[in-house]
Chain A
């Protein structure tokens, strides 16, 4: 299996622009998670889905952030408009419904907002 795939790996954009991050989970996995990692706040859970349905979005910082999972093999995290404080590494992870909650992480997208 190819593992969790994220694109792009690096994104540099200007303040006010829309940013879309993409994730392909491991085939057959039922849960998908979006995390943000910064030096100041560490690893934060933003939102997670179960069978394509958003379950908990309490970690989404504000309305500028939105996430979708239109099917079992694809999810997006969108920031509109982006701000410099959104600069971070964004990780996607997936896991099976059954089992001890082991999550498998993608390589991350490093976002820089100028």
Chain B
């Protein structure tokens, strides 16, 4: 089975500060990892994904994430927060162990950006 743990259901940062959202996963096979963002009253939008190859992945809106196999982590970062980054962020894992081709999502982290 696969699972995702997002540390911190709420994170608050000041505008211009570093954003760090934490994600740890569990998987018995090499996983694919994803970060999605959800703005109020909208669906989920893909921010970035890791499949194979380079472990530092860059996404939209200046976000990036690094896959660390030894730490089973896939933390999301952005050097400088913007007010428009306020949203809920979901980490997800896909590991085709039993033929199940579905994502398992974490519980989400709500990011607040203070002016």
Which A positions have Cβ atoms within 8 angstroms of B?
4, 31, 33, 42-43, 45, 48, 50, 55-56, 91, 93, 100-108
Closest Cβ of chain B to A32, distance in Å, is: 11
CB–CB B90/A43 < 8 A: yes
Q: How big is the B interface, by class?
A: 20 to 34
Instruction: List residues of chain A with CB within 8 A of the CB of B36.
Output: 105
Closest to B100 in A: A56
**23 A-B contacts (beta carbon < 8 Å):** A42-B105, A42-B108, A43-B105, A45-B102, A45-B103, A45-B104, A48-B102, A55-B100, A91-B44, A100-B49, A100-B51, A100-B94, A101-B32, A101-B96, A101-B103, A102-B34, A102-B49, A104-B46, A105-B43, A105-B44, A105-B45, A107-B42, A108-B43
